[in-house]
């Protein structure tokens, strides 16, 4: 895998015009564009087509979480959009995740296309141990992540989103080909923003992350292209 392909740029913008600007700037320099709730709610499914037409892979990060039948339907719709990966909340349980995996398999086979990866979301990187207690969990953040890893593996998920702080525990248990996606990536010296559990690109790759989600360190940089180059260089030294 090329270094640039390990970078997922978070298209956390408010409209299609802003998204198109970043697609134009970063085309060929990152492996995926992440389309999340803000952009998808504002622009709708057409924004997926816009990114795909530019030749960039799409990571649809809508974190589906509902009853199995509803999630299966949402997954089928996402498959028809042509996304390359999508997220489901592992806290929805094994039956929900398995339904999503099967829906992706069936719909892709019907369309004759490659099946997108189903990626489980564990504990949001904005949540720390105090938040877990407030939410009523007996487990701390790390313990809950490990429980959700078990859900991911037993339900057939292709990968998992987790904090870099959890990688040293998850990587040894992950089967070959299991995609580990790490958000909360901040190059050395960057502001941590609203993330509680963060890591540098190099430390995350060394710890076993497959792909890195990076947004503000690129979008808020004075020179976004230089920022991408520096991140890629840091990844390369750790690979």
By CB atoms closer than 10 A (0-12, 13-18, 19+), residue 206 is middle
Helix, strand, coil percent values for the chain (each to nearest 5): 50, 15, 35
**63 part of the active site:** yes
Cα distance between residue 206 and residue 228, in whole Å? 19
Q: Residue 51 — φ and ψ, nearest 5°?
A: -70, -45
CA angle 102–107–113, rounded 5-degree value: 115
Report DSSP state, residue 1. -
**Distance (Å, rounded) from C-alpha 81 to C-alpha 76?**
9
Of these residues, 63, 114, 117, 176, which one is catalytic?
A: 63
Distance CA 43, CA 109 (A): 28
Rounded to 5°, the CA angle 104-11-9 comes to 85
Concatenate the DSSP letters of all residues of 111-154 into one string: HTSPPPEEEEE-S-TT--HHHHHHTT-SS-HHHHHHHHHHHHHH
Strands (E), the chain: 7-10, 32-35, 57-64, 85-89, 117-121, 159-161, 179-182, 211-214
Enzyme catalytic residues: 63
């Amino acid at each position: 895998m090329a270094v640039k392909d390990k970078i997922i740029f978070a298209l956390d913008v408010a409209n299609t015009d802003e998204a198109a600007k970043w697609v134009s700037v970063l085309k060929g320099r990152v492996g995926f564009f992440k389309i999340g709730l803000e952009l998808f709610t504002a622009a709708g499914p057409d924004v997926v087509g816009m990114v795909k037409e530019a030749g960039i892979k799409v990571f649809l990060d809508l974190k589906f979480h509902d009853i199995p039948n509803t999630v299966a339907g949402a997954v089928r719709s996402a498959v028809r959009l042509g996304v390359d990966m999508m997220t489901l909340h592992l806290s929805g349980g094994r039956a929900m995740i398995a339904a999503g995996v099967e829906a992706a398999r069936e719909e892709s086979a019907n369309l004759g296309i490659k099946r997108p990866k189903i990626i489980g979301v564990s504990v949001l990187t904005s949540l720390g141990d105090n938040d877990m207690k407030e939410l009523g969990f007996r487990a701390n953040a790390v313990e809950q992540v490990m429980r959700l890893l078990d859900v991911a593996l037993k339900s057939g998920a292709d990968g998992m989103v987790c904090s870099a702080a959890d990688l040293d525990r998850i990587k040894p248990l992950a089967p070959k080909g299991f995609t580990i996606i790490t958000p909360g990536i901040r190059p050395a010296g960057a502001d941590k923003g609203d993330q509680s559990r963060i890591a540098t690109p190099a430390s995350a790759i060394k710890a076993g992350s497959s792909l890195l989600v990076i947004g503000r360190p690129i979008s808020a940089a004075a020179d976004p292209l230089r920022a991408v180059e520096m991140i890629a260089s840091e990844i390369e030294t750790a690979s």
